[in-house]
Amino acid sequence: MTEYVYPAVFHPNDDGSYTILYPDLPGCISEGKSMGNALYMAQSALTQWLGYLTDKNEPIPAPSGLQDVETETGEFANLIRADVKDNRAVRRTVSIPKWMDDKVSESGLSLSRVLQDALKERLNVT
């Protein structure tokens, strides 16, 4: 898992909600109904955006410093942290007994799926 921290600009709206923009990630926009919800939505948007870039092997832009972010009257900038999992598949060689491989084939199970599920459970991750 990789940790990222990006500055986000929070624009207050007339109805008490906030629009959130990331200057370093054009198109990454979110909105929150309250300050607490806006912070949650900002982290969610950042995580999804960076996860998408990672999955597509796209370059991830470097974040600006908070002091370098320009805001307009009423807006403010805040740092937002996101942990991004690299979900790309990797090939690993595993060894299992022949009888077990036969049973897996007979049952129609996906050995990769079973291994992933078992590792998630053992590592206590989702």
Whole-number Å distance between alpha carbons of 69 and 66 = 6
Q: What is the pLDDT of residue 97?
A: 92
The average confidence (pLDDT) of the chain is 93
Is the pLDDT at 53 greater than 80? The verdict is yes
pLDDT tens sequence across 67-113: 999 999 999 999 999 998 877 788 888 899 999 989 988 999 998 88
Q: What is the layout of strands, in order, in the sheet containing 29-32?
A: 29-32, 18-21, 2-12, 76-84
